[in-house]
Amino acid sequence: MPETDAAPARTGPCFITTPIYYVNDRPHIGHAYTSLAADVLARWRRLEGREVFFLTGTDEHGQKVEKAARDAGMNPQAFTDQVSQHFRDLTATMGLSNDDFIRTTEERHKEACTALWDELVRRGEIYLGHYEGWYAVRDEAFYGPDELVERDGVKYAPSGAPVEWVREPSYFFRLSAWADRLLKLYDDEPDFILPASRRNEVMAFVKSGLGDLSISRTSFSWGVKVPGDPAHVMYVWLDALTNYITAAGYPADPEAFAKWWPAEIHFVGKDIVRFHAIYWPAFLMAAGIAPPKRVFAHGWWTNEGQKISKSLGNVIDPVRLVEESGLDPVRYFLLREVPFGQDGDFSRAALIGRTNGELANALGNLANRTLSLIQRNCEATLPAPAARAPGDAALGALVDALPAVVGAHLDRQDFHLALEAVMAAARDANGYITVEAPWALKKTDPARMEAVLRHLHDALRVFATVLQPFLPDTMEALLDQLGVPPEARTLAALSTPLPGGLTLPPPSPLFRKIEAAA
């Protein structure tokens, strides 16, 4: 089981965030993925009894969004109102349990940006200069000439986005002065950036030298105005990153801010690790605010082996996917299939394989066999808690250890390992039922039959409890079928056995198998 010093304390509030998504386009599977990971951790923390603030939202300023609005023939505010709604709808589609949804066009956010800017000015961290260099609107990022490649007379950033030459007056943030303190942060907090491969990449970038960062633009106006100099709007990344502290209460509600900040974790994709792991902690430290505790940069999804892109026409729409396959199988598949942090390929065959093999067969059948036997052979009544015979010990030990094993994996965002651990235990439970054959014991040893079914019921209760964050709807159904009252569905409640004699409702299948041709 992974153990680290950085494992979060078991008590206290936790603040968990997703990126705020650009409203230049509709949500796709990549957005759903990041938000889902954050949702599972938020739900797990609640299950631990922690107070949780789970935030998502939309990034609505900047040149890219302004351009998308213009292309749609709309004014930017009307356009962002419309597209932001699609991201709000995504929270329902994916079953997200977010506590807030922030939009950067909200007044509270403009106040926070202004307060942060004023604080940076007060501390001498901002100066007025002139920017001249390359800018990629698609990434909303500045690039040095040595980072670019040229094809057919057009220069491209490493992300593949075309760049344009920008020359305008600009405010700068003294980023160059923060390199040593950033490196110290990465050294002092080895899990500040996960996974380790991303940490190495960020450290190498910082060690190669940091220039000062242009943090305002004058050639367009769709942004938060710089205090005292309204010809400038703030650089969209300074604006966007600030969302995390806006929502936590900065500067309007110092009590809330002290409660929620620093964030336990910012979930991001690997494309935006530089902004979160370099610029963001530098802005914060420069303003006298603690950096977040962790930035986790996950990998990139491809579709059946191909890069996902609008021009290839292979964008995966989460709404359609959930309609076709069901919400919980999609949630399960996305976090089970690919180690979090690595790139992964979306394949329909793999989704079907996981759903049918693991959810329907290993877990669903175990529940159905156990609960049907209790219905038929125990008059639908839960047998009393039973002592463990030698044959029950191995499964019992595995089940007892499972919540801590899952928790340790989730503390490091190893979602696939957490799920693998539950599935391994479910497979063991299937082996146990086959060996013990409780259906054959009714006539020969009814007391043993009851004990075996009770041990299986106890195991299922643990599986269902720890899987709630991943499979909220189906595990709610399973806990109903197991007769676990709503208040007894936390991790702490697992130490209190359910009383024998409960009447259990007739079981019904939890998962339907997906047909390959569907």
Of 100 and 229, nearer to ligand ME8 (C-beta) is 100
Other C-beta atoms within 10 Å of 504: how many? 18
* Residue whose CB is less far from ligand ME8, 56 or 325: 56
**In this chain, which of 272, 330, 406, 433 binds ligand ME8, going by CB under 6 A?**
272
CA dist 67 to 64, 289, 308, Å?
5, 33, 22
Contact pick of 16, 19, 54, 392 for ligand ME8 (by CB under 6 A): 19
Q: Which of 14, 15, 33, 41 binds ligand ME8 (CB under 6 A)?
A: 33
In DSSP terms, 165 is beta-bridged to: 134
The SS3 call for residue 507 is: coil
Integer angstrom CA distances of residue 64 from 60, 161, 372:
9, 12, 57
21 lines the binding site for ligand ME8 (CB under 6 A): yes
Measured from the CB atom, the residue of 272 and 351 that comes closer to ligand ME8 is 272
Residue 66 sits in the site that holds ligand ME8 (CB under 6 A): no
Distance in Å, CB of 213 to ligand ME8, minimum? 15
Picking from 162, 126, 127, 121, the residue whose alpha carbon sits closest to that of residue 141 is 162
Near ligand ME8 by CB under 6 A, which window of 17-25, 109-117, 146-154, 433-441? 17-25
- What are 221's two structure tokens? 């106006």
* Rounded distance between C-alpha atoms, residue 74 and residue 54, angstroms: 32
Query: How far apart are CB 141 and ligand ME8 at their closest, in Å?
Result: 10
Site for ligand ME8 in 455-494 (CB under 6 A): none
Site string for ligand ME8, 44-63 (x = CB under 6 A): ---------------x----
| 346 part of the interface to ligand ME8, by CB under 6 A | no
Among 175, 182, 193, 240, binds ligand ME8 (CB under 6 A): 240
Question: Is residue 22 within the footprint of ligand ME8 (CB under 6 A)?
Answer: yes
Decide if residue 34 touches ligand ME8 (CB under 6 A): yes
Angle at 45 between CA 276 and CA 361, to 5 degrees: 105
Using rule CB under 6 A, residue 20 touches ligand ME8: yes
Query: Site for ligand ME8 (CB under 6 A): which residue of 46, 300, 391, 512?
Result: 300
Using CB under 6 A as the binding rule, whether residue 439 contacts ligand ME8 is answered as: no
Quick one: which segment of 224-232, 263-271, 461-469, 494-502 binds ligand ME8 (CB under 6 A)? 263-271
Q: Is residue 268 involved in binding ligand ME8 (CB under 6 A)?
A: yes
**Least distance to ligand ME8 from the beta carbon of 277, Å?**
12
Instruction: Kindly state whether residue 37 participates in binding ligand ME8, applying the rule CB under 6 A.
Output: no
Decide the pairing of beta strands 14-22 and 306-307: unpaired
Rounded-to-integer distance, Cα 210 and Cα 230, Å: 28
Concatenating the DSSP letter of every residue in 157-214 gives -TTS-B-EEEEEEEEEE-GGGGHHHHHHHHHH-TTSEESHHHHHHHHHHHHT----EE
84 near ligand ME8, rule: CB under 6 A: no
As a three-state string, the secondary structure of 87-103 is: HHHHHHHCCCCCCEEEE
Helix/strand/coil (H/E/C) assignment for every residue in 376-392: HHCCCECCCCCCCCHHH
SS3 251: coil
The number of residues that bind ligand ME8 (CB under 6 A) is 19
Nearer to ligand ME8, 34 or 413 (CB): 34
- 206, 277 contact by CB (below 8 A): no
Tell me if 301 contacts ligand ME8 by CB under 6 A.
yes
Amino acid identity of residue 268, one-letter, is V
Taking the complex as a whole, the smallest distance from the CB of residue 507 to ligand ME8 amounts, in Å, to 37
Name the residue number minimizing CB distance to ligand ME8. 30
In angstroms, the CA 483 to CA 502 distance is 7
- Cα(239)–Cα(60) distance, rounded to whole angstroms? 10
And the tokens for 446?
Answer: 């009814």
Only segment of 19-27, 94-102, 439-447, 481-489 that touches ligand ME8 (CB under 6 A): 19-27
**Shortest Cβ 492–ligand ME8 spacing (Å):** 32
The site for ligand ME8 (CB under 6 A) is made up of 19-22, 30-31, 33-34, 59, 240-241, 243, 268-269, 271-272, 300-301, 308
